[in-house]
Amino acid sequence: MPSPGRRPTADDPVLVMGAGSIGAWLGGRLAAADVPVVMVGRPRTLNAMRAHGLTLTDADGGRLHLPPARLTLAEAVPEGLRPGLALLCVKSAATSAAAAELGARLPAGTPVVSMQNGLGHAARIAAAAPRLAVVPGMVPYNVAELSPGHLHRGTSGRLAAQAHPALAPWLPVLQAAGLAMDLHADLTAVQWGKLLLNLNNAVNALSGLPLRAQLLDRDLRHCTAALMREALAVLGRSGIRPARLSPLPPALLPAVLDLPTPMFRAVAARMLRIDDKARSSMADDLALGRVTEVEALNGEVLRLAASLGLEAPLNARLVALVHGWSRLARPLDGRGLRAALGL
Ligand SMILES: NC(=O)c1ccc[n+]([C@@H]2O[C@H](COP(=O)([O-])OP(=O)(O)OC[C@H]3O[C@@H](n4cnc5c(N)ncnc54)[C@H](OP(=O)(O)O)[C@@H]3O)[C@@H](O)[C@H]2O)c1
């Protein structure tokens, strides 16, 4: 087990744990800004980057290309690595194993920011790697792999993390890499603000449609609106006020989603500034028969409700629907999903 030695600094490399859509996006932006980055990932994604390099495009028309020689890739956390910052970017089912690997390899006190959706990850990382300085984080935008080695950011926003002294020196580094990050005294409200938006993920996944097309379907929007209303009611009872992460305040989201589509297009024009290619990554998981993050998202609503002695039957039905989904099943259209949810 490595000894703590000197404290990690912003001159040390960044370690990306889980070089998938979000990990390779963050790692690629940092590498393009000449920050030393080690990206740990699976052979499939690493081999694609070894063959094609990494191309990062975005909805604002940006395009960066890093040839393979500019990428430092590894299939496990290299022995003796002393990163100044680690970004944990695996999906929720892989959190504990990835955190245990970090805990075994990195010096005590290394800051590890969870860039994952949902609220429970930091606690799980800390349980698996108690010597590391675990910080909850939040990625507001959507990143999808369009082809091997090509990632596309389909929406926009600023990264966020819980305030921690180890993060302050990294803010200018992140900013220079186009990854501006805001620090919050308590990230809970921000995480819930993101989670509310993520309640659309399972709806999107079950619909089989790209995000924009799905949001233009009123029945599918109604399903998301109903899931959000239920979550907002539970949040209201808990005293948590979810942060505003979209142009609309959280409390107004369900009503706006329920508008007839021409009005929705007008009112939610910015929400619809998603390019045609964006989709939720849960859609890929469902299509490939992988474990989804529905437990970390809709499941969090159920856990909060239960902690208050309440129920969240609609989110519970959606969780059950996703768990019971076969990858061979046909996507559900808006009416089909409404019927399945009893709406
Ligand atoms: N994609 C987005 O738009 C987006 C936006 C905001 C937040 N997020 C959040 O970011 C997290 C990651 O999402 P993602 O879409 O980037 O997922 P992803 O594309 O599946 O990337 C995760 C990668 O990490 C790999 N991995 C898992 N355990 C590992 C380990 N121990 N060592 C090395 N690699 C490992 C995974 O491989 P396996 O598939 O073999 O496990 C996968 O290649 C999720 O919590 C998600 O909710 C995603």
Give the position, in ligand 1's atom list, of the atom nearest the Cα of 297. 47
Look at residue 88 and give its three-state secondary structure.
Answer: strand
pLDDT at 3: 46
pLDDT at 240: 97
pLDDT at 156: 87
95 Cα–ligand 1 center, Å: 9
Q: Is pLDDT at 273 greater than 60 in this prediction?
A: yes
Burial class of 139 by CB neighbour count within 10 A (0 to 12, 13 to 18, 19+)? buried
Specify the residue with its C-alpha closest to ligand 1, atom 25: 18
What rounded mean pLDDT belongs to the chain? 94
pLDDT at 5: 59
107 Cα–ligand 1 center, Å: 23
Query: Residues of CATH 3.40.50.720 domain(s) within the chain?
Result: 14-186
CA distances, 270 to each of 158, 265, 267 (Å)? 16, 9, 8
**266 pLDDT tier (thresholds 50, 70, 90):** very high
Q: What is the pLDDT of residues 166-220, one digit of tens each?
A: 999 999 999 999 999 999 999 999 999 999 999 999 999 999 998 899 999 999 9
Q: What is the pLDDT of residues 3-19, one digit of tens each?
A: 445 677 778 999 999 99
Better pLDDT: 341 or 279:
341
pLDDT at 104: 97
116 Cα–ligand 1 center, Å: 8
Q: Is pLDDT at 1 greater than 60 in this prediction?
A: no
Max mean pLDDT range (112-126, 140-154, 262-276): 112-126
**73 pLDDT tier (thresholds 50, 70, 90):** very high
Q: Which CATH class is domain 189-341?
A: mainly alpha
Specify the residue with its C-alpha closest to ligand 1, atom 26: 18
Better pLDDT: 246 or 140:
140
Q: Is 117 in the pocket of ligand 1 (CB under 6 A)?
A: yes
Say which CATH topology domain 14-186 has: Rossmann fold (3.40.50)
Specify the residue with its C-alpha closest to ligand 1, atom 4: 142
Q: Is 116 in the pocket of ligand 1 (CB under 6 A)?
A: yes
Question: What is the Cα gyration radius of the chain?
Answer: 20
Looking at residue 276, what DSSP letter applies? T
pLDDT at 153: 92
In sequence order, the β-bridge partners of residue 144 are 152
Specify the residue with its C-alpha closest to ligand 1, atom 27: 90
Specify the residue with its C-alpha closest to ligand 1, atom 9: 116
pLDDT at 96: 97
pLDDT at 315: 98
Q: Is pLDDT at 278 greater than 50 in this prediction?
A: yes
Q: What is the pLDDT of residues 158-167, one digit of tens each?
A: 999 999 999 9
Specify the residue with its C-alpha closest to ligand 1, atom 21: 20
Q: Is 90 in the pocket of ligand 1 (CB under 6 A)?
A: yes
21 Cα–ligand 1 center, Å: 6
64 Cα–ligand 1 center, Å: 21
CA distances, 207 to each of 79, 84, 211, 261, 333 (Å)? 44, 41, 9, 17, 6
Pairing of strands 37-40, 72-74: parallel
Q: Is pLDDT at 284 greater than 90 in this prediction?
A: no
**40 pLDDT tier (thresholds 50, 70, 90):** very high
20 Cα–ligand 1 center, Å: 5
Query: Residues of CATH 1.10.1040.10 domain(s) within the chain?
Result: 189-341
Give the position, in ligand 1's atom list, of the atom nearest the Cα of 115. 10
Residues of the chain with pLDDT > 70, as a percent, come to 98
Q: Is 104 in the pocket of ligand 1 (CB under 6 A)?
A: no
- Which of 91, 204, 285 maximizes ligand 1 atoms within 8 Å of its Cβ, making it the mutation to test the pocket? 91
